[in-house]
A and B are shown apart, each in its own frame.
Chain A
Amino acid sequence: MKAIGIILAGGNSNRMQELSQKRAVAAMPIAGSYRSIDFALSNMTNSRVRNVAVFTQYNARSLNEHLSSSKWWDFGRKQGGLFVFNPTITMDNSNWYLGTADSIYQNLQFLKESHEPYVIIATGDGIYKLDYNEVLEYHIQKKADITVVVKEMPVNEDVTRFGVVKLNEEYRIQEFEEKPLVASSNLVSTGIYVIRRRQLIDLIEKCALENRHDFVQDILIRYKNNKRIYAFKMKDYWSNISTVESYYKTNMDFLKSEVRDYFFHQSPEVYSKVDDNPPAKYNTGANVRNSLISSGCIINGTVENSVLFKKVFVGSNCVIKNSIILNDVYLGDNTHIENCIVESRDTIRANTYHCGEDGIKIVVEKNERYVI
């Protein structure tokens, strides 16, 4: 592979509400067995990228724990591997990462010491499969300075939370608006970029001199007329999880057989850290329909149209509907959960009732757990 990888995973999104209190968006659990960053990491390893740096900043405890061993993504190598860069205080810098460009600037040594000619930049909050080599070939063929991977969103979808682009007939980016009030097209940037390593170092150093810190504002938008910035259209599934609604929808997408087939059964695989959980157990009274159930779950009640993450305990006579129950949640008997996302490691006492009336309700109870 002619590229190194950078995964920007430092971000927090206040549109994730209570869910982002515990962890960076990149560490959000997805589809029962995965975390969001697994998709970018698996794409990197499946594209045979051998050196990958993950930049973290906001509440990285879950993320660091998840990345504590790089062997799950085949990055545990003597040559290359996975590097996690947290912000550090040095003699000439005592700031946090001030923006995406600044995070790269503060770790510029990693770029300078590499020898691969290209860099692939991705985010930790995209759910997709992509062979970055295809983007790289396109980038070379277009003689582009920067290639931005874009996705055409359905016409009725609100895209104002994304970077919206407009292209000419050669796919060169003409307009790039970050989070516009009114979107002028339905093509959005996925936050995946390909750029020559020397070019990136130059641009980032210039940015730093001018006290600019954001990759999108200060590089993509600022340079869109003097640099050749092209768009690569991604055809398959792509979803970004940084709001509660999109997080909920993305997880629910996995109840559709075509989405499951695409991610679970078609090559290449998505990798994640392996836990030592026993298989799921269904006791008398279990009644599960159209749901994803992960390892270590014990089920005594009704579960419908829901996604249960690992080690969830569902008590007798419980009813779980249209909900997402994150890792290691204990649901006491007779509990009713509908249209909810239940935060991980929570304990819901018996006879509790939670129902999202107009929208998705996030349940965080923080009860002590006395059961074994």
Chain B
Amino acid sequence: MLIYTLKRLLQAIPTLLIVITISFFLMRVAPGGPFDGERQLPPEIEANLMAAYHLDEPLPMQYLRYMGNLLQGDFGPSFKYKDFSVTELIAQGFPVSLEIGGLAILLALIIGLPLGIAAAIRRNSTVDYVVMGTALTGIAVPNFVIAPIFALVFGVLLGWLPAGGWNGGALPNLVLPVVALSIQQIAYIARMMRASMIEVLGSHFIRTARAKGLNEGEVIWRHAIRPALLPVMSYLGPAIAGIITGSVVIEQIFGIPGIGRYFVQGALNRDYTLVMGTVVFYGVLIVLMNLIVDLLYSALDPQIRYDD
């Protein structure tokens, strides 16, 4: 198991190199630079800026410089947020995204799994239709529509919860963003759980269990749920990685200081170092999440062993 883990981590290195290289050069060939803005700068001043950030060097030089710094764990200073290094920004933004995203996934599991199971057991009943209909509505409405509606209705018109802001992660500030972020996840998880439950319930060993005279509740609890969770598990790894970096819309609408916005803002502002930093960080995150999921998978499914 340990050897397998190490091997996987080693394999991740070339992958990350590819990611870094592609992103680095894509970013640099993009038209526009970090200092292109409403105020056009006099040539002298622009030259000063370029020199200050080593942007006047040839591109391969810049690449080597970046890689060199990266090896020392230095993501460099942000172009836009000049008083902070990229490392500081990620260290500040990631926990926030993790909290929002983690809670949203948790909520989605707590609500989505039972719904999916119920729908599968009562397949083609009213319960099934209602659950799946609601789930599909959740999928069909983009969260950049849901989030502003939440903010307006519950934040402004009803005044029940803060309409935005982070406030150090205070509970009332968490509710709306987490719920808005989890709605689609609830829907996905419910659908997936339903599908895999149906599959498991139709399999031979469940039939055998029934034939042995176990009652239905026992069949479901003891035998069906665990294997049915496997596909949901493999969904969760990337979903977690995605949701914590990807709640861009939610972060923007609720003014939450997370990491997702850094990437989008960085890409749009040509904040080269910030974009690269988030890409590298995210690449590592994916590798780790996949690894964790695979390891958990083997824990849940005794048929899978990693000996190689």
User: Are both chains from one complex?
Assistant: no
